[in-house]
Structure 1
Amino acid sequence: MTSRKHLAAAAVAVAALGAAAFYYLKHPAPAGAPTVAAGQPGAAQNVPPALLDLLAAHRKIIVLLADEQSMSAADKQAASQVGQSLFHENLERLAAIELQLRQMRALPPAQRDAATDAMLSWIESAADLYDADRLAFREVLLGLQKLAAADQTLPAIKLHKRVGEDLAALEDIEKQYDKELKDIFGRFDSRAIVPKRERWDDYVAHLRKLYSREQIMKDYGVIVPYAEPPAAAGDGAASASAAASASASTAAAAPAPGKEIFGNALPPKTVVLTFDDGPHGSYTDEIAAILKQYNVPGVFFQVGRNLGKLDAQGKEIPGKSAATSRQLLDAGHAVGNHSYSHALLSKQSGDQLYGEIAHTDQMLKSVDARRSTLFRFPYGAHNAEGLAILAKLGLRSVMWNVDSLDWADPVPNSIANRVLTTLGKEQRGIVLFHDIHARSVKALPMVLDKLIADGYSFAGWNGSEFTVARGAKPEPDKVAPSTGYANSYAVVIGVNDYQKWPKLQYAVQDANAIRDTLVTRFGFDRNKVFSLSNGEATRNNILAVFHDKLADAQLKKDDRVFVFFAGHGATRQLSSGRNLGYIIPVDSDPNQVSVDAIPMTDLQNIAESLNAKHVLFLMDACYSGLGLTRGGGNAAFLRDNARRMGRQMLTAGGADQMVADGGPGGHSVFTWTVLQALGGKADLNGDGVITATELAAYVAPAVASVSQQTPAFGSLPGSEGGEFVFQLPVEAEFLSAQTGQLSSEAIALNSKLDTGRQQQAEGKAVVLKNLQGGELKIEAAKPVDASARQLAQRANDKGLQLYKEKQYAQAEAAFTEALKFRPDFGLAANNLGFVFYKQEKYAEAARWFENTLQIDTSRAIAYLNLADARMRLGEADKAKKAYTSFIELAPNHANAGYAREQLKKLG
């Protein structure tokens, strides 16, 4: 079913695994859980019960909810309650499996490796497992991968690589089933031909031979009664009976008016995002990071035992996850109570029920007194006694009306579509997510993108009710697709002072500028950027960076490596007539190029051998065939992209061409153009990311239009079509008198560069040179769909570029466009005001600075700009008031001294 070598391998004979190999993975199933059924994988074989029980619960959840759209409300609610019970049993199994995996890693090497291989071989290759079955083991594989990462031995490194490939295969499986699963699990209502789902239907049909929904529910003590017949008119007794029956069939008792909170009471197009069952060791932080990116509040209902425990005297002992709760509160989210052990509280009473609620409230208060008074019953199930305990403790029950079913649905797209479909009908709601699933992390941005685009508001808890904050305006975020990189490494080399080759003027400065851009703009860790300049850039040192530094870094499959070289190159013709290019280290001899220079074939081999997802070479030199030259010739996107290796190279020009070193700011024309491209100009389709192909499509025609160079671009051996990706940061600069602008020389060159790439702007294909000297056609990038929020951000970003190039009329138009998309965009309002200021339109500028402060009263720089505008208008009293407000808000600002001087002048 998949192309990955492990999950596509031939079936391994499970019977040969041996009992000893699985000893440390065996443990009893949770109390009350059904045993392995006949006909399941491994039922007659020596397969670990823990994995089989995990798989059985996964399958039963699928059976329970496979016909979700056609089920009655009572059936659906009962199935959901049983399904959640199955899911939480699996959480217990996973915790036990993690412990057993740790014990297994402590075994003698031979026994440990045999056990690990046996387990993985069964997951990867068992003939009676469907691909959808294997999705049940994602968390097991993730746990094993973490354990392997902590071990630096060669077997552990190999294990880490193998598990990484298996996890990537699960991503492929998820993608393959995606279209089928999203139709099964709550897609938008079909309006045309219903797509066929043969593979998924085959899987569900297979599961129904093993289990029936009715039997699964009965095993868990749930029988849904027949629907009552419609009551005859005036039959009060029958009506009362039907109402009582309907009430009994639901998991939760009807709430007392005003006590319990429901999503259907929210204003239209208002959403509350809630996350149950955490805190989780990693997913809670990831959810919080996404909410921060979108500036959206959340409510996290946490399980007490995940936060810590109570000692014999009832004293709280917080665990490691307590810090996560405090961080959520610091970020403005609400933290609520979800019971101590996630028990079915509707079946409990007395001290046991009281303890489930009170102990967690005690734990939450000990973690941070800011905890909210909100409570969510596990499974939404409660009784009158439970509600009475909440009232006694001053807590309020919060239900939901939009269930993501992220605990049951294995596909993020499907989860997102279910939420959006339900909200499309309800038009408001409290959404139930869980912060303990990777798939919830993946689904959340899809939901937020659509809801923001559709104009929804997000309510937070203010201590007494859910409200949308009116005074606080969200910071402008441009939401770009995730690049999916774990770590980013770079090798940056620049050589001016050659020992035996002609000296260069700008190569080191080019390298330094590229390094600073990687660190300050794209978030590369300085410790992962390896730089060599001038005398450091010997042949041995250059090769050592690749062979030693990157090897010591233990590159992972999801890492990226960026390589920049600025210096001499040479091309040598081989006896076969083929050109072979070399990069020239600082200590190379022109007469010994084949001996002490570095052939391009070596760099290609290095690129192919690096254990990283994507590698991009940017060579400020010229290229022909396999040759590079700088100076005087011979003598002198995106979620699919994450699954493909990428090895790419962009070079400055062709053989026997001179690299133009006289660009602005002490840069070559090529490097200057690259810096402008990475500044945002190469985001040709406006999706917030720059691919290597987009970079080439901007840089090549632009450079060719102002120089005699013809940059070349292409893929190297080992590439699988993947793209190196730069994710653009959000531009959040409030223009002021301190904002830098480009020199006249740079503005003139940028004007020529933009003219040179006009064909791309007009939607025409770009024709470049490939790495072999032939032609490479790059189709024009198509603009992506975007929300008003994203379009406003992009217009603002464009306005910043235009302002820095002193194109004030165009910048004014761009900032105006941003405010058309988002009238409350304080950043664009300030920036429009400053464009007016630069054009000496001070009255207009003052009005827009005032607009900025109405949107965000805490924006100090806008007070400074307003004060300057008032000074220009001769309004001293108003200027004095604005300068004073600036100093009060930002007493340590770099311009506070200037403001104080202005106040002295004003008396």
Structure 2
Amino acid sequence: MTSKPIKIAATVVVALAAGACIYTYTRPAATATPGAPASGSPVAAPQSAVDTAAVASQFRDLLANFRKIIVLLADEQSLPEGARDEARKVGQALFHENQERIAKLDLALDQLTAPTNPGRFEALDSLLTYIESDPSLYDADRLAFRELLQSMLADVAKDSSLPAIKLHKRISEDLDALGEIERNYEKEIRQIFGNLGQRSIELKRERWDDYVAQLKKLYSREQILKENGIVVPYAVPPAGSVPEAKPAPKKDEAEIFGLGLPKKTIVLTFDDGPHRRYTEEISAILKQYGVPAVFFNVGRNLGSLDAEGHAKLGAGAEVSRKLMQEGYAVGNHSFSHAQLSKQTGDKLKGEILGTDTLLKAISPERAALFRFPYGARNSEGMAALADAHLKSVMWNIDSLDWADPVPSSITNRVLASVDKAGRGIVLFHDIHERTVKALPAVLDKLIAEGYQFAGWDGTSFQVAKSTAPAPEKVPVTTGYANSWAVVIGIDDYAKWPKLQYAVRDAQGIRETLIEKFAFAPERVVTLKNGEATRNNILAAFHDKLAHGGVQKNDRIFVFFAGHGATRKLSSGRDLGYIVPVDSDPAQFATDAIPMTEIQNIAESLTAKHAFFVMDACYSGLGLTRGAGSSSFLRDNARRIGRQMLTAGGGDQLVADGGPNGHSVFTWTLLQGLAGKGDLNGDGLITATELAAYVAPAVSSVSNQTPAFGSLPGSEGGDFVFELPGETEFLSPNTTQLSTEAIALNSKLDAKPQAASVTVKDLQGGEQKIVTPGAVPTSTRQLAQRANDRGLQLYKEKQYAAAEAQFTEALKLRPDFALAANNLGFVFYKQEKYREAARWFENTVRMDPSRAIAYLNLGDAYAKAGDAAKAKAAYKTYLELAPTASTAPAVRQKMEKL
């Protein structure tokens, strides 16, 4: 059979793609939102065909949601409780997103199948051809179309023409095939089915597990959750970390979960109705078994409110009236099924009070119960319930009938969950045929096992207490009192070849020491070009450091960028020199500074640790290495450390021409100090770690072979930089690295880091450097480190890797507003504006005073085409930062919306 182009009204595609999550919307006479004027009858959908590309786009979105729901909930019992709850919450949101699309386009389906529509048979033929034979569909995808096909069958039955009769037969055969598909997945066996007719669905040989496995290749549960604003925190802190101290949650008597019910007691609840067909079928089943239940109604399915807030009941209200007359409790499930945790003010109250007004108009005996859509609530919503004298009812057993298309699977899940919990509130939905099919089997089994069913009697159930995790240990510190530095850079030599990058290298190091590592500017002695004479350099060491107030618990960092020289002594040993600006090449043995003098200076310093970094080439120092320690910080504080890292050997030239006007060595050094040198991820960069990062990285991109070692007199101490937590909230003003810098960093990082690396010592031999063991770190510190790595990766435009790091930060610390914003901005940078907006919304919930997050939120909504929300976000930004440099530009953005 040859497929034909799909030329149908948009409603058909939307209803199809919703699949097993189909939502039949009972249309009231008007569809006004709570408190808004009624707008009269909805406008009928046009009969004209829609653009094929537009139809395909809508279909892909809806089918993608259907598949994502399956991926989210596959093997969901193996997930930790928190992750399982979040997966279900997002799955419900995706499901209701499809419901919204279907509800808005429901009338178009009526127009399509009307006998007055001359193109109806061509459109329906194209649609059925797609369902029956499109190669992209799996059998399980076709289960999504059962309820739609049933509606189409009923509509076609009203037409007595010969084409309609043939079409009726074809749809009936398709429904028979879908029944066979359902039985196939119930049994989970592979078999070949017979020919069901030339025009009907031809069954494949697939197992449900195979279908799910294919979907998992398309989507991952973590990514689906993340795109919907959820990162599930670690159930158990990573090894080597200490959990955060959190206050024990307080018992909330305003909510009912069912955990306080007597043993073997069940409450049945049904959400999202009333439905014009399935609600009454469920009521009939409950009546047959003599079982009570609570129905939570969505207000728009009951009717609308006029401008004065008076109820105008629709057809669905009669279904709820019958439920109340038969003794069932009917409660409030909001007006539009919005996620109320994201609503505030009048809009939030309207969602609650609008439906309450409609329910009271049906009967004053309505149950004073409320269920938050998706279970998503906030303190303002709970307060609004209290003011309205409504009680929140949650659940502890989810049937997942909104996601699972197979009735027997729903039955098995509910029975297994009830058996495990022993009691509780079961969540069903009275808008699915599969729920109607599953319910009798559930009731038969539970009644046989002696369960009893409770109805609403005005009493409340208590929520079980939780246990708070153990408190966090006090974080460790490096223990330095003061930090000193001597920074020297010489380009403008009088008698040696001039250099281009040394002064800029020195300036970059100075800025990093002061701005990142909090060295006091007055303690960073800087000598550039003509200032860096032999006398001034020695005076900096002897006068400024040795006699300038350095104490035994201080640290000293020395950086030299300039010429280095090597002279072979009569003994055959090489001796290295650093070359001051006033040195003469003909007599550098007397007017340059020998490394033996630097060594003597190092030994005379009273500081605990000193680290010399020389962006010049040397050899000829007899260096030694001290051993590591498991109790690193404690033992390191007791040991004197004198270490040196040089750019290369005595016969090598330093490679200039790195990014941003730096030498390759200094650029790599700066990258290491920015965080890449933290090889064990504990937030500390030791001199050993820095050498282990810098030496192999520089060697991989140049002809230099950096050398590292400890000066004689060192007792094995290791100089330590403690990385500060980055505080930058990513925004359009965040600078990223140049193309040249990103290219070099990619080369530097191409070689994977190992637990140990082999580098040169300053005599030209080889030594193995073992990275120190990680210091015990709190989960909060680990989260900060992950955010910092993400920021670095973002600046290198490695968006996928940055996303992973910000995600890791949120797993470790779910309330980390900085990481939430930064994750959102990574989505924004990739033009995923809806996903970005969700994370910016999370950010402002975590930190309502963070102005930049509102600016980002406004930009995301503007790009997504939601002008109203963009304006609201921009308005809040301007209220928080009216004098910011970006405020005029934001006002211009608002004017253009």
Structure with the bigger RCO (C-alpha within 8 Å, sep 6+) is: 2
TM-score by length of 2: 0.46
TM-score by length of 1: 0.46
